[in-house]
Structure 1
Amino acid sequence: MSIPVYPPKPVAGDRVAVLSPSFAGPAVFPRPHELGLERLVKEFGLEPVEYPSTRRAATPRERAADIHAAFADPAVKAVFSTIGGDDQITVLPHLDRELIRANPKPFFGMSDNTSLLMYLWNTGIVGYHGGTVMTVLGRPGAVHPFSADSLRAALFGSQEYELRPAPEFRTIDQDWREADTWTTEPPMEPGTGWGWHQADRVVEGVSWGGCLEILAWQLMADSEVQRDPAAYEGCVLMLETSEELPPATEVFRTLRNMGERGLLARFPALLMGRPKTWSFERPLDAGARARYAAEQREAVLRATAAYAPEAMVVFDVDFGHTDPQLVLPYGGTVRVDGPARRVSVRY
């Protein structure tokens, strides 16, 4: 497997595609979508371009057609997903790999967009895990400065960027359907820093992974996961979990199954995202949230001890289903310096 290459970056004034490759979130929650589009213009100097399925539920084939149109248009310099979802895996069979390979562009997405990021990785293109329009750009109050700095560097830059622990983070979500949500800043808690395990070496490699639940689906479908585990030798694994709050047993079993497939041992380092510990379906209290996070950490350590005992692990990295959010290159270079307790990426 060849190392993915970085696509050309946009500059201020360029057009960027805004797509809904999974859930048509803007059709249900127009407020954060409109706010995200407005901030793309005013704060990032870009011209968003929507497509037929951006604001309506569409078939997998229709969504694939919009992806093709966005990548094939020479005037479009980057592609943003509006939000995640749960069925992007059904879109991938309709994609034209050669068309996308011939027109590489930065793609920003997370959650269910892990499927498309995997597809780009296998196509030889670096993608970007994070930066969705509705959740990051359409955040109530304002785009968090921590998120904005990372997104801006990923969007416009190619330099090395040092990741930092977020100074604060949000646990409890606001209801997008409530008017009060849009008049106040989200409630935040003080940052807790990162947790390091076996931080006794320096690892540098290209990144792979994404949302653990979507990765599990890809493993079951045997779709975008390379059959030869050697394809991931020396890569940096990045994993995070969603607002569905998968139990620690599910996290362990997914990692165990990756181990049985011969995958887990290929990764000398793992960046584990700060877990989401609250949702509208499971509004856990503070004690239950702490237990959930601790149980997830124990599950990760149990799996790596069994299948990747030499691996270095960094916990609570602020990417994925987090606020604020770091954008991570998907297939780009990540350097994990254990002794210095530093993580840097190349955008």
Structure 2
Amino acid sequence: MPTLRYPPKPRPGDRVAVVSPSAGLPGLFPEVYELGLRRLRDDLGLEPVEYPTTRVMGADTRDRARDLTAAFADPTVTAVLATVGGEDLITVTPHLDDAVLRANPKPYFGYSDNTNMLNHLHRLGIVSYHGGSVLVHLGRSGAAHPLTFDSLRAALFTSDWYDLTPATEWGDQPNDWNDTATLDREPVMFPGSGWTWAGPQRVVEGRIWGGNLEVLHWLLAADRVAPVADLAGAVFVLETSEELPSATEVFRMLRNLGERGLLGTFPAVLVGRPKAWEFSRPLGAAEKVAYAEEQRAAVTRALATYNPDAVVVFDLDIGHTDPQLILPYGGDVRVDAVDRRISVRY
């Protein structure tokens, strides 16, 4: 893979950009957003810097791109954090000033629709960070989850290796942001079930690429993904969103990656625990188990066809479930299927 640069890290007391390049949900849920900002200040010691579109829903794509470019250009800002995801960041990245981004690399944190931005920075040769959300994770009801917070702190402030650990509890049923009375209550959590390993027992080292599977499919359709040769040898990360794509859709998306020649080039695949509940689709306990099992079978089926020798790990706490571990996108990862250990270099 082409060489990627780790940007310099912020320090406690620094100014960091807080942007909404996708959806301006802080404008709709100010109490949740202010809670996230308060934890950013009080618990992480960072000073948030807002931009004109941070609290604006439906802001013009060029204005959002202008804010993103300005965040990278500002020499007093040492990191950039997305407030939340959305669904149209693919229309924003073409308006970015790539020369500014290349000349001023900074750690960028986001997930979900922010896969667009992570992939864009990857193509510019800049390591970014899959995970972190001012609304979802710093603004989490009750308190920021300790596992999320420890991973986020390490990713923000350190450059060392960090061992990922399975969560002892997890959830995918957040409290309703419309009901501010729930902000002091912990969301529903379930006992952790650990990771599930498949494939050969060997150690794989590489650089991370991937993200939200639905968004990756959009990027492939828009021809925004690097050539197969440039991604060969990457450790592929995939996770699915609150839209709860069916197992058939998941298989077909992965099949398309296989037909493109991509899926077979990844020596290891890390699969996020699937979110299996949403306010519009409140699945029951048995339905949630069935959804997760069907998705795992779909991923297994695609890999059996296109990459049967890959090391595979299921149910990582990445993406749309709670807690959320941070991954260095384009950064180093070691997947040890012998000792069943995953380490990333922040």
For 2:125, the equivalent position in structure 1 comes to 124
1:31 matches 2:31: yes
**Alpha-carbon offset, residue 182 of structure 1:** 1.2
The code of the aligned residue for 2:40 comes to L
1:338 matches 2:322: no
Q: Structure 1, residues 31-60: CA drift from partner, whole Å, max 9, x if none?
A: 211111000100000000000000013111
Q: Structure 1, residues 271-317: CA drift from partner, whole Å, max 9, x if none?
A: 00000000011110011100100000000000000001111110000
TM-score by length of 1: 0.98
Number of residue pairs the alignment of both structures matches: 345
Distance 2:31 2:248 in 1: 36
1:153 matches 2:154: yes
The code of the aligned residue for 2:105 comes to P
1:162 matches 2:195: no
Alignment check: 8 A CA contact 1:3 1:331 kept: no
SS in 2 for 1:188: strand
**Alpha-carbon offset, residue 180 of structure 1:** 3.1
The code of the aligned residue for 1:239 comes to L
Distance 1:65 1:221 in 2: 22
The code of the aligned residue for 1:26 comes to P
Q: Structure 1, residues 221-240: CA drift from partner, whole Å, max 9, x if none?
A: 112x01x3111111100000
**Alpha-carbon offset, residue 3 of structure 1:** 2.1
Distance 2:119 2:220 in 1: 11
1:115 matches 2:105: no
Alignment check: 8 A CA contact 1:199 1:341 kept: no
SS in 2 for 1:249: helix
Q: Which residues in structure 2 correspond to 1:259-298 (within 5 Å)? A: 259-298=258-297
Alignment check: 8 A CA contact 1:170 1:187 kept: yes
Distance 1:179 1:16 in 2: 26
Distance 2:27 2:159 in 1: 34
TM-score by length of 2: 0.99
Distance 2:180 2:101 in 1: 40
Alignment check: 8 A CA contact 1:199 1:337 kept: no
Alignment check: 8 A CA contact 1:171 1:189 kept: no
The code of the aligned residue for 2:12 comes to A
The code of the aligned residue for 1:250 comes to E
Distance 2:186 2:302 in 1: 38
Alignment check: 8 A CA contact 2:110 2:132 kept: yes
Unaligned ranges ≥5, structure 1: none
Distance 1:317 1:134 in 2: 21
Distance 2:184 2:174 in 1: 14
For 1:308, the equivalent position in structure 2 comes to 307
Q: Which moved more, 1:289-298 or 1:195-204?
A: 195-204
Q: Which moved more, 1:74-83 or 1:166-175?
A: 166-175
Q: Structure 1, residues 184-209: CA drift from partner, whole Å, max 9, x if none?
A: 11121110000000141100000000
Q: Structure 1, residues 133-162: CA drift from partner, whole Å, max 9, x if none?
A: 000100011111110000000000000000
Distance 1:258 1:3 in 2: 23
SS in 2 for 1:301: helix
SS in 2 for 1:171: strand
Distance 2:338 2:280 in 1: 40
For 2:9, the equivalent position in structure 1 comes to 9
For 1:79, the equivalent position in structure 2 comes to 80
For 2:231, the equivalent position in structure 1 comes to 232
Q: Which residues in structure 2 correspond to 1:36-47 (within 5 Å)? A: 36-47=36-47
